Amino acid sequence: MTTETTSIGSWPGRDLPLALALQGQFSVPALPELPELSPSDSLLGQKEGLPPTALFEWVSWLLRNARPQAKLQRCGPLTLSRNTELTWEQAQNQALQNAQELLLATSGYRGKLILLWDEPSFAGASDVATLNSFLRRARAELKISVQGVHCCASPPATTALPSLECSIVSFDLDCWDEASWKANLPALLRFATRPGNLLILGTAGAPAAQLRLRDLESTPLWLSPSCGLAGRSIEEVNEILTRLLTPEIDRQTPPLDPPHSTRRRSPREPA
């Protein structure tokens, strides 16, 4: 089964040309963020409203390479309002302004753009009504129909899936232990198999996470590296990409040894 691949959020180091070149290996390239190169590229640094360091070089690359799909990502208002001094209204306005800047920069792109809101502070069912109100506002003001939510909180907020008003969700496979994975698998399957929906799952290549893909071998989904790559070494990132970026994702193949670091990021660290 052929599976699309994309990336989530940040990259390590300060090598912008390398970060752009690596995006060319994904079937759905994403705008990379390099928090070591600029604080405004970090998750919470987006409160300043500055464009991502790679934005214009990435757009130029995207226009030259004419990929049919591409992904954008910005910090969502729940995370901004709970981890900075911004109020809920200010956080919404800033998130929309940040996304609008990306959409204007990519206005010459004729493929399908996907926008993900990065919300590690999303707590699940208790936040659904609040987040849905923002998603409706974003849909109206940004004039974009394809938007979703990425959440790397542990455990992932799968209880919110039936009520969440977006067609794309992104979780990290590494956020589940075996018991919680089995308990949450039915909700993931229901979401992923609903017409028009898309499930994106991130993995750093840990054996347990790779084995979980066997439970989804007939389920349409995309794969990505786990988020928080800015907290890893270049060697670890290369190892993760080697496992992920194969022409055909064989979900029956025994996984390789995991990378040395399995550290999770907090909402105060870059995505």
For residue 169, give the nearest of 145, 137, 198 by alpha carbon: 198
Question: Which residues have CB under 8 Å from 242's CB, separation 6+?
Answer: none
Note the pLDDT tens digit of each residue in 125-174.
899 999 999 999 999 999 887 899 999 888 788 989 999 999 999 999 88
Tell me the pLDDT band of 51, cut-offs 50, 70 and 90.
Answer: very high
The number of CA neighbours under 13 Å toward the Cβ of 163 is: 13
Q: What is the mean pLDDT of residues 62-68?
A: 92
pLDDT averaged over the chain?
86
Per-residue model confidence (pLDDT) at position 10: 87
Distance, in Å, from the CA atom of 181 to the CA atom of 185, rounded to the nearest integer, reads: 6
Note the pLDDT tens digit of each residue in 243-269.
888 644 444 333 333 333 333 344 444
Residue with token string 């308990």: 183
Distance, in Å, from the CA atom of 66 to the CA atom of 56, rounded to the nearest integer, reads: 15
Residue with token string 């209204």: 89
Query: Mean pLDDT lowest for which of 82-86, 177-181, 212-216, 260-264?
Result: 260-264
Note the pLDDT tens digit of each residue in 136-149.
999 999 988 789 99
Per-residue model confidence (pLDDT) at position 2: 53
Q: Can you read off the two tokens belonging to residue 47? A: 């409160």
